[in-house]
Structure 1
């Protein structure tokens, strides 16, 4: 089968034919066997490229698997084979799921309890883009911050995969959504999503822009900060937070871990949530299950949608990583296999 194999740590944007590339594309990787009576083998149709995948190959992610390994986390596909005790799925079912490794390949094996049936009417590629990005935002905003209608939600890095998902979930919850991004193309894209206010971080002050908007709407401040960026943007954003605000620490795309002063958090009664989505699978798997089932229902009803910014075959994965690294992504980057991206298999 086709697979992308990480053989050493390094920059995955290098051409796959370059000997310096840390990843190798092969069309003869062994097809994984069923590992238990409840395991299911899925023929992968699409798999999502997340910033964490990029960091993992660089060797800069908190989880460092032994080499060599097949990267990849969330995916969608069609059930290819089932174990003797599988009673939740059958061959031909459309499913999606996520794992710590292994989805950048033609086939992947998972236990039936870790798979989710994709509802009729849902695009299979869209379903494969959902678990990590939309799951992160849903757990953060719904399960942790308990975002309510009328609250003000400020999203940094709003044009990226998790940012776009946070916008949509925020709108479903009835929040007033402020989106921060830079660049004409990204700003136009955010306008098309119907956010309430957009800040161009490359040209204007977050503090001044947000305060002006809040004054116009007669709002007191930001109730929830969704932060996958870190760095100076976090520092600026703290100036517009309300008393009792909640800060969701999602990641550090800027490369700089921000400092949140404990004395100010005390005076302002802020709550700081660290959100490492993947660890819920160990500590609170029911939260991830409930979250993803809710998201798939929203997707089937048209309450949310997935914007696929870039799509590449596994053999051109370096281009997908480059799009992510160069911040050219508006939504999600996907790797697709030989099956049609629009397949309703």
Structure 2
């Protein structure tokens, strides 16, 4: 099979396309003919050797795929050959075939194309888990989403609306804010040119609230420092990542006086520690998609051989929504 291979830690330019033996399907595993693979910021960190999980070299990057079931291993009960699915992987998605645990593979409706499905699991799974499981967000609460035009952020805007929140979308640039507004954001802030803290205070006051009740933050750094001070009493901020380039320090004094909570969320850990939550979550998410509440946005589709360019597009923030590698229609 053809695959994209990382032989040494570094940037996307070091990736090479080569032939590899097809993977074996063991007990409880599913082999998938990959039609499309989602590209994530975590892939950039992984090939740089900076991700929390470090596969041995060489390895095939790629954390999520969509395609059809090619084969199933002993003990697999939910899935069968030729079934249309999406899946989450430890790595190995940038290839013509990939193997996943049965618990990490989810059926998709015939109406959902493979490129959409390939970019669905991590972005929407992260948004759903962070807001429903970690923040326990309730209808009517005021939600701030930073990085709101990125794959994860845009998904959080939509999931927040589906859960009944009033959503503030923060991003940089008119086009990105327009996209977030089109996906349901009630208020938008361009924190490249606007005073984020002042705008958050103004929006909250007009809604009769003391501040932001839930913040979903994949950006971190200076943005986190500002939004944390804009939290309401009892507010919760969910730390998703550090795309801004700096891992922030949590101000414990503000945790105390605001009775606030800073919560971490890493999607991958749920696959190991609470995998029973995943299938019901994706069933609800697919239901929302079928109702038109979720409208995945794929801004860039590139062939497998252009994986390095796809990663650069993401790294340089030239994409909105998801970037996807396509292998088959």
TM-score, normalising length from structure 1? Answer: 0.92
1:233 aligns with 2:218: no
Q: What is residue 294 of structure 1 aligned with on the other side?
A: 284
Q: What is residue 207 of structure 1 aligned with on the other side?
A: 197
Question: In 2, are the aligned partners of 1:96 and 1:115 still within 8 Å (CA)?
Answer: yes
| Residues 1:252 and 1:123: Cα distance change in structure 2 (over 3 Å) | same
**Displacement of 1:222 after TM fit?**
0.5
Residues paired across the two proteins, number: 329
Q: What is residue 2 of structure 1 aligned with on the other side?
A: 2
CA distance in 1, matches of 2:260, 2:77: 46
Secondary structure of 2:42's counterpart equals: helix
1:93 corresponds to which of 59, 83, 88: 83
**Displacement of 1:239 after TM fit?**
2.3
CA distance in 1, matches of 2:5, 2:162: 38
Q: What is residue 32 of structure 1 aligned with on the other side?
A: 23
**Within-5 A mapping of 1:1-345:** 1-12=1-12, 14=13, 21=14, 23-26=15-18, 28-36=19-27, 38-83=28-73, 85-337=75-327, 339-340=328-329
CA distance in 2, matches of 1:158, 1:85: 41
Q: 1:157-192 CA distances to partner (integer Å, 9 max, x unpaired)? A: 111111001000000011010011111221222232
**Displacement of 1:156 after TM fit?**
0.9
Question: In 1, are the aligned partners of 2:210 and 2:233 still within 8 Å (CA)?
Answer: no
**Displacement of 1:297 after TM fit?**
2.1
- Unaligned ranges ≥5, structure 1: 15-20, 341-345
CA distance in 2, matches of 1:86, 1:214: 50
Secondary structure of 2:246's counterpart equals: coil
- Unaligned ranges ≥5, structure 2: none
Secondary structure of 1:238's counterpart equals: helix
CA distance in 2, matches of 1:63, 1:263: 32
Secondary structure of 1:165's counterpart equals: helix
CA distance in 2, matches of 1:117, 1:57: 29
Question: In 1, are the aligned partners of 2:169 and 2:177 still within 8 Å (CA)?
Answer: no
**Displacement of 1:85 after TM fit?**
4.4
TM-score, normalising length from structure 2? Answer: 0.96
**Displacement of 1:131 after TM fit?**
1.2
Q: 1:243-282 CA distances to partner (integer Å, 9 max, x unpaired)? A: 0000101110011111221121011111111111101111
Q: 1:182-209 CA distances to partner (integer Å, 9 max, x unpaired)? A: 1122122223223111111111110111
CA distance in 2, matches of 1:86, 1:56: 29
Q: What is residue 18 of structure 1 aligned with on the other side?
A: none
Question: In 2, are the aligned partners of 1:119 and 1:297 still within 8 Å (CA)?
Answer: no
Secondary structure of 1:91's counterpart equals: coil
